Structure 1
Amino acid sequence: MRLSQKKAVFQNEVLTRFDLYKSLFLTLPFQRVKHTGTILPFFTNHCEQGVEAHHSPEQIIDSFFGQYEQYVKEDDRLDLLFRIVQYIERQVVLFDAVEDSAFKKVGKSDESGGMESIFTLAQTNPQLKKQVVSRLKDLSVRLVLTAHPTQFYPGPVLSIINDLIDDLKKDDIPNIHLLLQQLGKTPFINKQKPTPVDEAISLAWYLENVFYSVASGIQAKIENELEVSPDDIDHLIELGFWPGGDRDGNPNVTWESTKRVATLLRTILFRCYYRDFRIVKRRITFRGVESYMEELQELFYENSFNPVEKPVDETERILHNLTEIIRVLRENHDGLFVEIVEDLRRKVQTFGCFFTTLDIRQDSSVLRETFNWLLENYPKETGISLKDIGDSEEEKEKHIAFTEADLQEQDDAAPLVQDTLKVIRLIKDIQQSGSERAVQRFIISNCQQASDILGLMQLFLWSGWTKKGLTMDFVPLFETVDDLKHAADVMRSLYSNKTYAAHLKKRGNKQTIMLGFSDSTKDGGYLMANWSIYKAKVELTAISREYDVDLVFFDGRGGPPARGGGKTQRFYSSMGKEIENNHIQLTIQGQTISSQYGSLDSAKYQIEQLLHAGVISDLRQREGDTLTAKQKNIIDQMAAESHAKFLELRHHKLFLKYLETLSPLKELASINISSRPVKRNSDKELRLEDLRAISFVTSWSQLKQNIPGFYGVGTALQWAEDNNLWSYVKNLYETSGMFNTVIDNCMMSMTKSNFDITAYMKDDKEFGEFWTMLKEEFDRTKEYLLKLTGMKELMENYPVEKASICEREKIILPLLIIQHYAIRLLEDKQKDDKKAETYRKLIGRTIYGVVNAGRNLA
Structure 2
Amino acid sequence: MNEESTEPTTGTDDEMAALISGTSAKDASDILFDLLMEVVRRHQPEIAGVFDGSAETSDFTPELMARALQAQGIWFQLLSIAEQNAAMRRRRHIERMRGRDAVRGTFDNVLTEAARDGIAPKEIEDLLRSLRIRPVITAHPTESKRVTVLEKYRKIYLLLRELETTRWTERERQAILADIRDQIELVWMTGELHLEKPTVEHEVLRGLHFFDETLFEKAPEMIALLEGALEHHYPGQHFELPPFFQFGSWIGGDRDGNPHVNTTVTGWALRQNALAALRHYRERIVSLARMLSITERALPVPEGFRETLAHALKMSGEGETIAARNPGEPYRQFLTTVLRKLDATAVRAGGGELELGQPNYANADELIHDLRLMERALAEANSPSIAADLVKPVRRAVELFRFSTVRLDLRENSTRTTQALQALWWASAGHGEGNPPELGSREWRTWLLHELARPLTTERITAALPAEATDLIAMFAQAAEIRRGLDRDAFGSFILSMTRSVDDILGAYLLAKEGGLFLDTAGTEICALPIVPLFETIDDLRAAPAIMREALAIPLIRRSTHWQGGLQEVMIGYSDSNKDGGFVASNWELAKAQTSLTKVGQVAGTPIAFFHGRGGSVSRGGAPTGRAIAAQPAGSIRGRFRVTEQGEVVSYKYANKGTSLYQMELLAASVLEHALKSERETALQPSREFDGAMEALAGASRAAYTGLITHPDLVTYFQSASPLEEISLLNIGSRPARRFGASSLKDLRAIPWVFAWAQNRHIITGWYGVGSALQNFLEVRGSQGEKLLGQMFKGSRLFRLIIDEVEKTLALVDLEIAREYSMLVSDERVRETIYAMIEKELALTAEMVLKVSGGTEIAGRFPQFRAALAVRLPTTNEVNREQVDLLRRFRATESDQTREEFKSALLLSINTVAAGLGATG
TM-score, structure 1 normalization: 0.91
Give the alignment partner of residue 628 of structure 1, picking from 663, 687, 695: 687
Q: What is the match of residue 157 of structure 1?
A: 149
Q: What is the match of residue 73 of structure 1?
A: none
Q: Which consecutive residues of structure 2, in runs of 5 or more, have no partner in the other structure?
A: 1-10, 95-101, 164-175, 295-328, 354-360
Per-residue CA distance 1:158-192 (angstroms, 9 max, x = gap): 11111111110111313212212221222211121
Cα separation, partners in 2 of 1:527 and 1:294, compared to 1, 3 Å: same
Give the alignment partner of residue 445 of structure 1, picking from 494, 497, 512: 497
**1:434 Cα deviation (Å)?**
4.0
Q: What is the match of residue 179 of structure 1?
A: 183
**SS in structure 1 of the partner of residue 746 of structure 2:** helix
**1:266 Cα deviation (Å)?**
0.5
Q: What is the match of residue 249 of structure 1?
A: 257
**1:819 Cα deviation (Å)?**
0.9
Cα separation, partners in 2 of 1:237 and 1:230, compared to 1, 3 Å: farther
User: RMSD value over aligned CA atoms?
Assistant: 2.7
Q: What is the match of residue 362 of structure 1?
A: 412
Give the alignment partner of residue 708 of structure 1, picking from 758, 765, 772: 765
Cα separation, partners in 2 of 1:305 and 1:799, compared to 1, 3 Å: farther
Matched, 1:40 2:50: yes
Per-residue CA distance 1:525-582 (angstroms, 9 max, x = gap): 1111111111111111111100111211001014211011122332322334363443
> Higher mean Cα deviation, 142-151 or 6-15?
6-15
> Higher mean Cα deviation, 447-456 or 399-408?
399-408
Mapped contact 2:255–2:412 kept (Cα < 8 A):
yes
- For 1:463-478, list aligned pairs within 5 A: 463-464=515-516, 465=518, 466-468=523-525, 470-478=527-535
- For 1:414-493, list aligned pairs within 5 A: 414-464=466-516, 465=518, 466-468=523-525, 470-493=527-550
Q: What is the match of residue 456 of structure 2?
A: 405
Give the alignment partner of residue 374 of structure 1, picking from 416, 420, 424: 424
Per-residue CA distance 1:503-540 (angstroms, 9 max, x = gap): 22222321000000101111111111111111111111
Q: What is the match of residue 206 of structure 2?
A: 202
Q: What is the match of residue 912 of structure 2?
A: 849
CA distance, structure 2, for counterparts of residue 294 and residue 425 of structure 1: 36
CA distance, structure 1, for counterparts of residue 238 and residue 911 of structure 2: 43
Q: What is the match of residue 11 of structure 1?
A: 22
Q: What is the match of residue 4 of structure 2?
A: none
Cα separation, partners in 2 of 1:497 and 1:306, compared to 1, 3 Å: closer
Cα separation, partners in 2 of 1:307 and 1:234, compared to 1, 3 Å: same
- For 1:146-295, list aligned pairs within 5 A: 146-171=138-163, 172-227=176-231, 232-286=240-294, 287-295=329-337
**SS in structure 2 of the partner of residue 697 of structure 1:** helix
Give the alignment partner of residue 63 of structure 2, picking from 79, 83, 87: 79
Cα separation, partners in 2 of 1:376 and 1:102, compared to 1, 3 Å: same
Q: What is the match of residue 736 of structure 1?
A: 796
Cα separation, partners in 2 of 1:158 and 1:794, compared to 1, 3 Å: same
**SS in structure 1 of the partner of residue 733 of structure 2:** coil
- For 1:85-164, list aligned pairs within 5 A: 85-107=69-91, 112=104, 114-121=106-113, 127-164=119-156
Q: What is the match of residue 662 of structure 2?
A: 605
Amino acid at match of 1:82: A
CA distance, structure 2, for counterparts of residue 542 and residue 127 of structure 1: 25
**SS in structure 2 of the partner of residue 289 of structure 1:** helix
Per-residue CA distance 1:597-633 (angstroms, 9 max, x = gap): 3322222222222223223223333212122122111
> Higher mean Cα deviation, 765-774 or 459-468?
459-468
Cα separation, partners in 2 of 1:816 and 1:760, compared to 1, 3 Å: closer
Mapped contact 1:704–1:757 kept (Cα < 8 A):
yes
**How many residues get paired?**
826
Q: What is the match of residue 307 of structure 2?
A: none
Cα separation, partners in 2 of 1:29 and 1:478, compared to 1, 3 Å: closer
Q: What is the match of residue 301 of structure 1?
A: 343
Per-residue CA distance 1:710-759 (angstroms, 9 max, x = gap): 11111111111112222212211211112211221222222222121133
Mapped contact 2:427–2:461 kept (Cα < 8 A):
no
Per-residue CA distance 1:134-178 (angstroms, 9 max, x = gap): 333322221011101112111011111111111101113132122
Amino acid at match of 2:368: L
Amino acid at match of 2:124: V
Q: What is the match of residue 808 of structure 1?
A: 872
Amino acid at match of 2:69: V
CA distance, structure 2, for counterparts of residue 744 and residue 836 of structure 1: 42
Cα separation, partners in 2 of 1:41 and 1:289, compared to 1, 3 Å: closer
CA distance, structure 2, for counterparts of residue 195 and residue 463 of structure 1: 27
TM-score, structure 2 normalization: 0.85
CA distance, structure 1, for counterparts of residue 121 and residue 349 of structure 2: 45
> Higher mean Cα deviation, 470-479 or 454-463?
454-463
CA distance, structure 2, for counterparts of residue 398 and residue 669 of structure 1: 43
Matched, 1:551 2:608: yes
Cα separation, partners in 2 of 1:795 and 1:129, compared to 1, 3 Å: farther
CA distance, structure 1, for counterparts of residue 734 and residue 494 of structure 2: 21
Give the alignment partner of residue 780 of structure 1, picking from 844, 850, 860: 844
Matched, 1:726 2:786: yes
CA distance, structure 2, for counterparts of residue 411 and residue 245 of structure 1: 24
Percent identical residues = 22
Mapped contact 1:572–1:581 kept (Cα < 8 A):
no
Amino acid at match of 1:676: R
Mapped contact 1:153–1:188 kept (Cα < 8 A):
yes
> Higher mean Cα deviation, 115-124 or 96-105?
115-124
Mapped contact 2:200–2:251 kept (Cα < 8 A):
yes
CA distance, structure 2, for counterparts of residue 395 and residue 537 of structure 1: 32
Give the alignment partner of residue 648 of structure 2, picking from 591, 597, 605: 591
CA distance, structure 2, for counterparts of residue 802 and residue 347 of structure 1: 40
Amino acid at match of 2:159: D
Cα separation, partners in 2 of 1:128 and 1:854, compared to 1, 3 Å: farther
CA distance, structure 2, for counterparts of residue 240 and residue 805 of structure 1: 33
Mapped contact 1:542–1:578 kept (Cα < 8 A):
no
> Higher mean Cα deviation, 702-711 or 821-830?
821-830
Cα separation, partners in 2 of 1:537 and 1:126, compared to 1, 3 Å: closer
**1:452 Cα deviation (Å)?**
0.6
CA distance, structure 1, for counterparts of residue 181 and residue 43 of structure 2: 17
Amino acid at match of 1:800: Q
CA distance, structure 2, for counterparts of residue 549 and residue 384 of structure 1: 41
